[in-house]
Amino acid sequence: MPTQPDTLLQLEGVTKDYGARVVTHVLRGIDMMVEPGEFLALTGPSGSGKSTLLNLVGLLDRATAGRIRFLGSDVAQLDEAETTALRGRGIGFVFQFHHLLPAFTALENVMLPLLADRGRRDREMHERAAALLEEVGLGARASYRATDLSGGEQQRVAIARALVMRPPLVLADEPTGNLDTESGDQVFRLLRTFNERYGTAFVIVTHDERRAAHCDRIVHLIDGLVASDSGHKVRS
Amino acid sequence: MPFELIVALRYLREGRTQTWLILTGVGVGVGVIIFLSALITGLQESLVARTLGTQAHVVVRPREEMPRVLRPGGDVVLDARIERPAQRIRSIVQWQRARDEIARLPGVVETSPTIAGPAMAERGDGGSAVTVRGIEPETYRRIVNLDAFLRGGRLDFDGFHAVIGTELARYLGLSVGDRFRLRAGGDAGGVYTVSGVLDLGNKDLNQRLVFVSLRAAQSMFRLEGGVSTLEVKGTEIYGAEPLAREISRRTGLVADSWMRTNEQLLIALRSQSASSLTIQAFVILAVALGIASVLAVSVTQKSREIGILRAVGTSRGQVMRIFLIQGSILGLLGSAGGIALGAALALIFSRLAQNPDGSPTFAMALGTALYLRSAVLALGVGVVAAILPAWRAARMQPAQIIRYG
Ligand SMILES: Nc1ncnc2c1ncn2[C@@H]1O[C@H](COP(=O)(O)OP(=O)(O)OP(=O)(O)O)[C@@H](O)[C@H]1O
Ligand SMILES: [Mg+2]
């Protein structure tokens, strides 16, 4: 598969096995490409390997075999420090269970990636985080403790945090799975808004057919293989 | 403020109860160390000071006379008898030269010639065996601060004036201005006037010591122009032993350091220090284990958060530092409390351990150096205790902990 110059992410024959004695082949050879600005739904039955795939792409885990190229680098070749740097700047995460740090305020949670990257606080990161909180409609909640926010609000803070580094790719693992329909819709609309506003590519794991249908492309996993891929839909 | 410090402080604040408990633990530990150190050091300093209050660091005297083999006659030894010569008071040969040589040695503050010899102190029917010390007041007073012991009268040694201990004064019914007779071997001696009374803090010394001028002692012991000992004060109390060896090497005289003459005391002090250090070592160990266990629990509790931190771009090194910093903060803050606690304990204790007159029996050795040492120690213990938990936190696999918490 030739690498196209504008390819953001490219997977070739990616496999992932778990276990030493009893080996589980969770991913059995994934080939796929994600281009900048895509809005992609990753679907599939429970246990098909969606979260596993996201962890590999998110540089949180390493593939057993195959090749993952992200932003032009073969991620298997990167050392610990380079991996951390690429993850911090290149990828945003939104998890199912919001995963905010409870000891910090909403604003500080959003600032966290900038803080880790720059090593110390500065004015600019403050302003940038505050602006993003405004964008997710939580400007007034900036100084709330993470634990004092509702589930939907927490997830919106997590989205702001995922976007604060302006990463080219955001990975969202069932971002609405834990929310009621209304706040789920709100969160989903927010992802779409950011996709359109900043051209950020999104890979969203979802069980919800209706939401998947709202995405530009649907990749369906079954038993660790890509069962179907609707391909990149050119939006009018 | 660095990122790691911000997160570390938040985590400590978040773990309120745990943090307070371990801070209290560290504080109590450091407090015990401060108290023990202040107590033991103070006690030992006062013991040593008391011992050295009445004696020189080094006392130099002539070599003992060589035993002679007596041959009854003829070339064949039939019956050799080794006879130790009677140890009479002898002068140091060319003592002025020896004194100058000693005075030139580095680490010597003062050298004073003295004579010590036995005599009887008598008044009327009463009599008591005493040790007469002939001294050169100007130099001797810089070695033994007699002024500090004076309880009555003046330190006047001119002519037939003598300064005696309180016990002897009581025993012979002497007060300042009274006369008594000092009788040495044969008919040497004379009638002396008590010019001052000393309390040397030791009943035996108070009973036994009579200070007269060097000249008076020289004539009393038929030692015209001679002295029996040179007393030396050095700059370093515990440098006395090497100084004594050096003096002996240079002059060929016998030189005894206070450390040698008070060997029992030194052994006692050393074993006291050793047991105090052992206790402190165990306290440090307990503090370290306390900090380590609190942080280990915190790492487990926070594993999911550590995963998030890693996911948003925090490096392993940063995660590690977050926990190392927590350890050092616990150590430092705990030691601040501990210093206050230890100092308070020490002060209360010195209030309780008072002399009948209300003065403290000895001064607690509190001070900035001790506080600083304890703070640095606690900081080090905090960091070391944090190493294992921090390492475990840094090694966590983000994918696993995000999935399973
Ligand atoms: N660390 C692991 N060790 C062993 N097996 C694992 C491990 N992690 C995941 N698995 C297994 O891999 C398979 C795929 O898991 P994964 O979480 O990727 O599925 P998923 O598609 O995200 O499912 P769901 O929709 O329920 O979230 C499952 O059978 C799971 O049990
Ligand atoms: Mg999953």
State how far the alpha carbon of A221 is from the alpha carbons of A44, A176, A177, in Å: 5, 19, 18
Residue B198, pLDDT > 90, answer yes
pLDDT of B375 reads 92
Higher pLDDT, B351 or A14: A14
Taking 50 as the pLDDT cut, the residues of chain A under it are: 1, 236
Over residues B52-79, mean pLDDT = 71
Residue B278, pLDDT > 50, answer yes
- pLDDT digit string, tens, across residues B116-127: 999 999 998 889
- Cα of A46 vs centre of ligand 1, distance in Å, is 8
pLDDT of A177 reads 83
Is the CB of residue B314 less than 8 Å away from at least one CB of chain A? yes
The ligand 1 atom at the shortest distance from the C-alpha of residue A50 is: 21
Residue of A nearest to B302 (CA): A101
A55 min Cα distance to partner chain B (Å):
6
- Cα of B295 vs centre of ligand 2, distance in Å, is 31
- Sign of the torsion angle spanned by Cα atoms A178, A184, A186, A191: positive
Read out DSSP for chain A?
Answer: -PPPTT-SEEEEEEEEEE-SSS-EEEEEEEEEEE-TT-EEEEE--TTSSHHHHHHHHTTSS--SEEEEEETTEEGGG--HHHHHHHHHHHEEEE-SS----TTSBHHHHHHHHHHHHHSB--HHHHHHHHHHHHHTT-GGGTTSBGGGS-HHHHHHHHHHHHHTT--SEEEEESTTTTS-HHHHHHHHHHHHHHHHHH--EEEEE---HHHHHTSSEEEEEETTEEEEE--PPPP-
State how far the alpha carbon of B288 is from the alpha carbons of A163, B18, B22, in Å: 41, 15, 10
* Best of A21, A26, A46 for a ligand 1 pocket test (most atoms within 8 Å of beta carbon): A26
Distance, in Å, from the CA atom of A108 to the CA atom of A100, rounded to the nearest integer, reads: 10
B1–A119: do the CB atoms touch at under 8 Å?
A: no
Over residues B188-199, mean pLDDT = 92
Counting residues of chain A whose pLDDT is more than 70, the rounded percentage is: 95
B135 close to B110: Cβ distance less than 8 angstroms: no
Tokens of B137: 């007041």
Size of interface A-B (CB pairs under 8 A): 75
To 5 degrees, how large is the angle CA B245–CA B201–CA B54?
Answer: 25
Closest CB from A60, A81, A116 relative to B399: A60
Residue B80, pLDDT > 60, answer no
pTM score:
0.80
The Cβ of residue B356 has, within 10 Å, a number of other Cβ atoms equal to 5
B255 close to B248: Cβ distance less than 8 angstroms: yes
The ligand 1 atom at the shortest distance from the C-alpha of residue B399 is: 1
Residues of chain B in contact with residue A50, where contact means CB-CB under 8 angstroms, are none
The ligand 1 atom at the shortest distance from the C-alpha of residue A45 is: 25
Residue B392, pLDDT > 50, answer yes
Domains contained in chain A, CATH given? 9-229 (3.40.50.300)
Q: Which long-range contacts (CB under 8 A, 24 or more apart) does A126-129 make?
A: A128/A164, A129/A160, A129/A164
Is the CB of residue A123 less than 8 Å away from at least one CB of chain B? no
Best probe of the A interface among B298, B312, B315, B396, by most A CBs < 10 A, is B312
Is the CB of residue A118 less than 8 Å away from at least one CB of chain B? yes
**Closest residue to atom 9 of ligand 1, CA basis:** A52
Distance, in Å, from the CA atom of A191 to the CA atom of A93, rounded to the nearest integer, reads: 12
Query: What residue ranges line ligand 1, CB within 6 angstroms?
Result: A 18-19, 24, 26, 44, 46-52; B 400
Higher pLDDT, B384 or B69: B384
Is the CB of residue A131 less than 8 Å away from at least one CB of chain B? no
Distance, in Å, from the CA atom of A88 to the CA atom of A82, rounded to the nearest integer, reads: 10
Residues of chain A in contact with residue B6, where contact means CB-CB under 8 angstroms, are 115, 121
Residue B22, pLDDT > 80, answer yes
pLDDT of B76 reads 52
Q: Is B192 exposed, middle or buried (0-12, 13-18, 19+ CB in 10 A)?
A: buried
Residue B363, pLDDT > 90, answer no
- pLDDT digit string, tens, across residues A30-45: 999 999 999 999 999 9
Q: How close are the terminal C-alpha atoms of chain B, in Å? A: 29
Tokens of B297: 């629990």
Q: pLDDT-based confidence at B50, cuts 50/70/90?
A: confident
ipTM of predicted complex: 0.89
Overall residue count recorded for chain A in this entry: 236
pLDDT of A236 reads 43
pLDDT of B359 reads 72
Tokens of A99: 């995963």
Closest CB from B312, B398, B403 relative to A116: B312
Is the CB of residue B301 less than 8 Å away from at least one CB of chain A? no
In sequence order, the β-bridge partners of residue B127 are B122
- pLDDT digit string, tens, across residues B155-174: 999 989 999 999 999 999 99
Residue of B nearest to A18 (CA): B400
Helix (H, G, I), strand (E, B) or coil at B226: coil
